[in-house]
């Protein structure tokens, strides 16, 4: 597993993120900008509906964990939705919730693709790509 953790690189935060990564058997831990997300954990699971992009969860220490998929580049993620289990739940609780949401998405993928959630694109704060994009009007 490759890694790098945000949120000031404190041992408590690193330990928490590593514990969550172990509980989920994450393939990688990506450092993020500590404004949008503190860390992004890349998982092995993929969804055909999302063109085979790998699933991820992203953590913001103020708002908690969100489920998403990889973007076209490493400075982008597409967020499907929040896990809805608090800011710093136990790793086992996160793993159970991710499994539950993945099962729900697999069910939609097979049975009702028209109801598949449309993810929201999130850029890493301060990247050149985010800074040069024109504002929405």
**What pLDDT is attached to residue 79?**
94
Instruction: For residues 102 and 108, give the distance between their C-alpha atoms in angstroms, rounded to a whole number.
Output: 10
Q: Is the pLDDT of residue 25 over 80?
A: yes
DSSP string, 38-53: SEEEEEEEE-GGGTTP
Q: Which tens digit of pLDDT belongs to each residue from 89-137? A: 999 999 999 999 988 887 776 676 666 666 767 877 665 444 334 333 3
**What pLDDT is attached to residue 22?**
97
Residue labelled with tokens 């985010």: 130
Q: Which tens digit of pLDDT belongs to each residue from 79-89? A: 999 999 999 99
Measured in degrees and rounded to the nearest 5, phi and psi for residue 76 equal -135, 140
Extract the tokens encoding 61: 């220490």
């Amino acid at each position: 597993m490759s890694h790098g953790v945000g949120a000031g690189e404190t041992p408590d935060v690193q330990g928490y993120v590593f514990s969550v990564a172990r509980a989920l058997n994450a393939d990688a831990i990506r450092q993020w900008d500590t404004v949008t997300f503190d860390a992004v954990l890349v998982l092995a699971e993929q969804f055909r509906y999302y063109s085979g992009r790998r699933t991820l969860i992203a953590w913001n220490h103020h708002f908690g964990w969100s489920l998403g998929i990889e973007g076209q580049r490493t400075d982008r993620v597409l967020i499907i939705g929040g896990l809805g289990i608090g800011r710093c739940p136990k790793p086992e609780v996160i793993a159970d919730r991710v499994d539950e949401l993945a099962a729900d998405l697999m069910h939609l993928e097979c049975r009702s693709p028209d109801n598949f959630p449309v993810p929201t694109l999130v850029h890493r704060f301060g990247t050149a790509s985010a800074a040069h994009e024109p504002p929405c009007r």
